[in-house]
Amino acid sequence: MGICCQAQAQLPMPWMKKKKKKNEALRSSEHPVVQSIRAIPIRVLTVGKKRSKGIQLVVDEYKEKINYYCSMEDVLIRSNPKNTSNVKAQIEAEDISVIKQLRPDDWVLVLDEHGADITSEQLASLIEDAAITGSSRLSFCIGGPYGHGSQVRSRANLTIRLSSMVLNHQIALIVLLEQIYRAWTILKGQKYHH
């Protein structure tokens, strides 16, 4: 189905400014065939509880598809590790758990309600840009039920959102994985397999 592709980013996207000339073509609707993009390893960190069987099967399905293009690691970080009833303490504990998973040379993309709306083409450009920077990994961070803490927010190289609606972390993960797979088909100039 075709749910959108004309939205404009609502927040500044610093990576666009850096390589404006290079990326102009990538953001046009006629995406050129690009064969030589470094297969930067991708890591998706999700804060949440154990997944349902169906969600895990869909995650595995997209992981296999993405692994055709690059290594993709799916990391589930336990929600509320200190088992507290205090929301602030929960957010802080989850924040620390996520930060521990990040390396200094990771390129970090955070999913957050205050993030920018981007198109599938822009996500493709973003993956390419992360590969060009020389970062060792591209890490996506999906927060828990109360969102991210201040450390993760500060660490973000870019913050985006997947929808104008609130998505739970399991659904957000599936949408993100499908978008990563779609991004690679765009970058490689290949047909998208439904």
**Residues 58, 72, 93, 187: which binds its own copies (CB under 8 A)?**
58
**Residues 96, 120, 132, 153: which binds its own copies (CB under 8 A)?**
120
The nearer residue to its own copies, 84 or 168, going by C-beta atoms, is: 168
CA-closest candidate to residue 37, choices 103, 133, 117: 133
The nearer residue to its own copies, 17 or 194, going by C-beta atoms, is: 194
The nearer residue to its own copies, 52 or 136, going by C-beta atoms, is: 52
Is 91 among the residues that bind its own copies (CB under 8 A)? no
Q: State the Cα–Cα distance between residues 10 and 7, nearest whole angstrom.
A: 9
Is 56 among the residues that bind its own copies (CB under 8 A)? yes
For helices 120-132 and 169-187, angle between their N-to-C axes, nearest 10 degrees: 70
Interface ranges with its own copies (CB under 8 A):
1-7, 47-49, 52-61, 111-115, 117-120, 123, 142-147, 161-172, 174-175, 178-179, 182, 192, 194
